[in-house]
Structure 1
C-alpha cells in the first residue's frame, strides 16, 4: 500500500495579533508556532517516508504574503523535494488573487520547476509515479465564477442562481476527468471547497461566504478511493461509510479563538486500489483559553476574577480575559494585579464589560396565569419599585380616578 500524508489550511502568517516578537529571532512567535507545527508534519513524511504529500490549499492568509513568510513556508516544503517525495500543492481561495485569476502564492513552485512538485490550479488529473506504484490525483482548486462562467452567464442572477449554474458547469467537467481515470490505479480527489455537509470552523469568518457550496453527491463516487479536502478548519469525515472517505483534516494551527476547542492535525493515509486506511494525527499546538467572569453580583469582583484565572491552565497559552462588573465597581479592579496573574500566559488580552443595570426579574403575581384587575396589577408593580415608593399612593389614587371616569 502507498503511504500518503494529507494536510491543509496552513495559513502561515496569520494570528500575529496573538503573538509577540521573539527578541532572539525578530520574528512573531505565532509565525514560529506555525513553522514548528508544519515542520512536525514534514518530519513525519520524511521519517517514514511517505510516497506522496497532499496539501489541500490555503498556504497563507492571502495571495501576496510578505517575503519572510513565503521563505518560512518554502524552507519546510523544500525538505520534501530534497527527500524526493512527490507533493501536490492545491490552490485554495486564500492563495488566489481577489479576482480569482490564478494561484499567485503557489505558482512560483511550478515556475521554478521544483522537482516532484505539482501545483493544482486547474481541474486536471495527475498520474504520479512512486517507488511503491502509481497513484492518480484529480485536482479541484477553489472555484470562482470566472472559472466556469462568463459575465453574460451570471448577469442579473442571484447568488443561489450563480451557485446552481456553477454546479451545472462543474459536473460534466468533473465527469470527463473521472471517466479518464485508470480503473486499476488508486485514485484520489484533492479539492478545496465547501461541501454541503460540512460543519464550519474558523473559515466561516475567513471569507467562506464568498464561495459556493458543492453537493456531497459530486464527491461520493466509486472511482475515488479517497477524497482529500481543504478549506474547512475543523477536522471531519463527511462520509462515515468510508466509501470513499471524504476528509477535511482541518487547519494545522489555531487561527483564532473560534478554534479554541478544536483538535489540530493531519491525515495519515495508506491506500491501494479498493482499499484505504486513514488516521487523524493530532498535533501539539499552542492552546487558546477564554476566561469569562460575571462579577456583577460579587461583593469582591477583584477576588472573583483572580479565582477564575487561577482555575484555568494559562501557562504558555493565548488567553483572553472577559469580565463583567458594575460601573461603580470598576475602580475597585486592580488591573496591575490582573496583569501579574496572567503573566504565565504566552500572550493575553483583558476586556472589561461594564454592566449599568441588570434585567429585573418577572413578578409572579403578574404572570400569565394570574387574573388581576388593573388597579391590583398596578399595586403589585409598585411594591417592587423602590424608586417609586414616595409617589405610589398618589399614582394608585390617580389610577382610581381614571378608572372611575371611564365607567
Structure 2
C-alpha cells in the first residue's frame, strides 16, 4: 500500500495569494503529519502567468519545496490559460530532499522503491521498471486547438474524447502487469468528467468534455486522481480488477462566491487491488450571499449580520432595481452595515426602462389622437387618459388639484404645494404637446 496526498487547483496568483497560501500551507502540514509517501498536484498550481519574482510565485515555490523535503512530488500540467506551458519547469530545479517530477506530456512514470521518478520513453512503458513502488499514468491538459487544426472545429470535441478513451484502454495492459507484481496503479489527469458537478452545482454535460467515468475505469488503474473541477466528488466501482476509485479533491481554497461544498485535499490509500480516499478540509474562507429582489434594505441587512454572525466572512450583496431607482441605493450604508466582514462585494442589477416607439404618432395633429395611439401601443386603456386630458383642458390646474385633495381631506399647506406642482406639470405638458 502507498499513502498519497492529492492536491489540485491551487490557483496561486496576485488576488488569490492569501487564500491559496493559507489553505495549501495547512494542507501540507496535515499531509506531513499523516506521513504520506508521495504527493500529487494534478494541475492549475497557478491562477495565471506569474513573473518569477512575484510574491505568489515565490510562495508557491517555497511551499512545494517544503512538501518535497518530506516526500517525492509529481506535478501535472494544468489548463493553459491558468498554467501557461513551461510554468512548471522551475520546480524541477528546487533541489529538495526528494525529487519533483513535472509531467507535461502523456506518459507513464514509475516511482521506485528508492523514491526516484522513472519516466517512460514513449506514452507508456514496454515493460515495468525494476523495483517499482507505484505506477503513475499521466494525461495533462489536452490542447484542443491542436486537434481542431487537424480535424476541424466541429469534430474536435468528439475526436478528443474518442482518442482519450482509446488511450486509457491502451494503459490497461501495463496496469495489469503492475497489479500482478503487487504495485499500486494510479492515473493522474486534468480535465472534465461528463456528469460531474461544478463548484456552483452545475452538471457538466456536453460533447466537449474529455472523459466519462466508464472510460477512466476502463484504464484499469486502481486510483484516478483528477484536477480542474473545483468541487470534491468521487466515483467507485467494484470489478474483476478490484476496488477502483476516481476523485476530484476540488480546489484547495474557496476562490469565488457561491461555491458549494467543503474545500481541501485528498488522502489516498492505494493498493494493488483497491483504492480509497477521504477529504481533509482546509481553512478556506467563508462566503455568504445576501440577495434582495428589490432595493436593498439596510435594516434587513443588519438583521442578517446579527443572525448569521458574518464577522470575518466574505459577503456579497446582490439586488435588482429599476433604472430610475438605482440612485436610491445607499452603498455607503450597506458597507457600514457589513463593517465586520473581511470582504464586501456589492452587485446591483439594473433593469433598464424599455420604451416602445409608437409609429406615426408624430403625424397626428390632435393631442387626444396621440394619447390614443400611445395607449394602443402600450396596451393600456385610453378612456381614463382622454377623460383626464379633457379635465385639464376645461379646468385650471388649481381647480383640479383643489378638487382632488379636498375630496381626500388633505390640509391646506399640502393643497398649496400640490397646486404649484400641478401648475409646473401642466406647463411642461402643454409645451411638449406643441
Same-fold call, TM > 0.5? yes
Q: 1:64 Cα deviation (Å)?
A: 3.8
- Among 210, 213, 220, which residue is 1:213 paired with? 210
Q: 1:290 Cα deviation (Å)?
A: 1.2
Aligned partner of 1:269 in structure 2 is 268
CA contact (8 A) 2:8 2:227 kept: yes
Q: Distance in 1 between matches of 2:165 and 2:380?
A: 67
1 or 2 for the larger relative contact order (CA 8 Å, sep ≥6)? Answer: 1
Q: Distance in 2 between matches of 1:293 and 1:168?
A: 46
Asked if 1:158 is matched to 2:156, the reply is no
Aligned partner of 2:366 in structure 1 is none
Q: Distance in 2 between matches of 1:35 and 1:125?
A: 30
Greater shift, 232-241 or 270-279, is seen at 232-241
TM-score normalised over the length of structure 2: 0.68
SS of 2:346's equivalent in the other structure is: strand
CA contact (8 A) 2:77 2:140 kept: yes
Query: Rg bigger for which structure?
Result: 2
Q: Distance in 2 between matches of 1:220 and 1:63?
A: 34
- Among 372, 384, 389, which residue is 1:389 paired with? 384
Asked if 1:314 is matched to 2:307, the reply is no
Q: Distance in 1 between matches of 2:220 and 2:325?
A: 66
Q: For 1:107-149, what per-residue CA distance to the aligned partner results, in whole angstroms no more than 9, with x for missing partners?
A: 22235565421111111111113579811111110111466x4
Aligned partner of 1:78 in structure 2 is 65
Aligned length: 340
Seen in structure 2, the aligned counterparts of structure 1 residues 192 and 339 have a Cα distance that, compared at 3 Å, is same
Seen in structure 2, the aligned counterparts of structure 1 residues 220 and 174 have a Cα distance that, compared at 3 Å, is closer
Q: For 1:137-172, what per-residue CA distance to the aligned partner results, in whole angstroms no more than 9, with x for missing partners?
A: 11110111466x484x32xx233x112323343344
Aligned partner of 2:186 in structure 1 is 188
Asked if 1:347 is matched to 2:334, the reply is no
Seen in structure 2, the aligned counterparts of structure 1 residues 237 and 334 have a Cα distance that, compared at 3 Å, is same
Q: Distance in 2 between matches of 1:230 and 1:326?
A: 42
Within a 5 Å distance, the mapping from 1:284-323 to structure 2 comes to 284-295=283-294, 301-323=297-319
CA contact (8 A) 2:103 2:140 kept: yes
TM-score normalised over the length of structure 1: 0.72
Q: 1:307 Cα deviation (Å)?
A: 3.1
CA contact (8 A) 2:157 2:207 kept: no
Q: Which runs of 5+ in 2 are unaligned?
A: 116-131, 355-375, 390-434
Q: For 1:320-370, what per-residue CA distance to the aligned partner results, in whole angstroms no more than 9, with x for missing partners?
A: 212345667666654433222111011112234456789xxxxxxxxxxxx
Seen in structure 2, the aligned counterparts of structure 1 residues 124 and 87 have a Cα distance that, compared at 3 Å, is same
* Aligned-CA RMSD value: 3.7
Asked if 1:224 is matched to 2:221, the reply is yes
Q: Which runs of 5+ in 1 are unaligned?
A: 17-29, 359-380, 395-407
Q: Distance in 2 between matches of 1:225 and 1:253?
A: 27
Asked if 1:247 is matched to 2:243, the reply is no
Asked if 1:118 is matched to 2:101, the reply is yes
SS of 1:106's equivalent in the other structure is: helix
Asked if 1:9 is matched to 2:9, the reply is yes
Seen in structure 2, the aligned counterparts of structure 1 residues 324 and 214 have a Cα distance that, compared at 3 Å, is closer
CA contact (8 A) 1:302 1:332 kept: no
CA contact (8 A) 1:225 1:275 kept: yes
- Among 170, 173, 179, which residue is 1:179 paired with? 173
Aligned partner of 1:170 in structure 2 is 164
Aligned partner of 1:283 in structure 2 is 282
CA contact (8 A) 2:164 2:210 kept: no
Q: Distance in 1 between matches of 2:235 and 2:45?
A: 23
Q: Distance in 1 between matches of 2:73 and 2:253?
A: 21
SS of 1:314's equivalent in the other structure is: coil
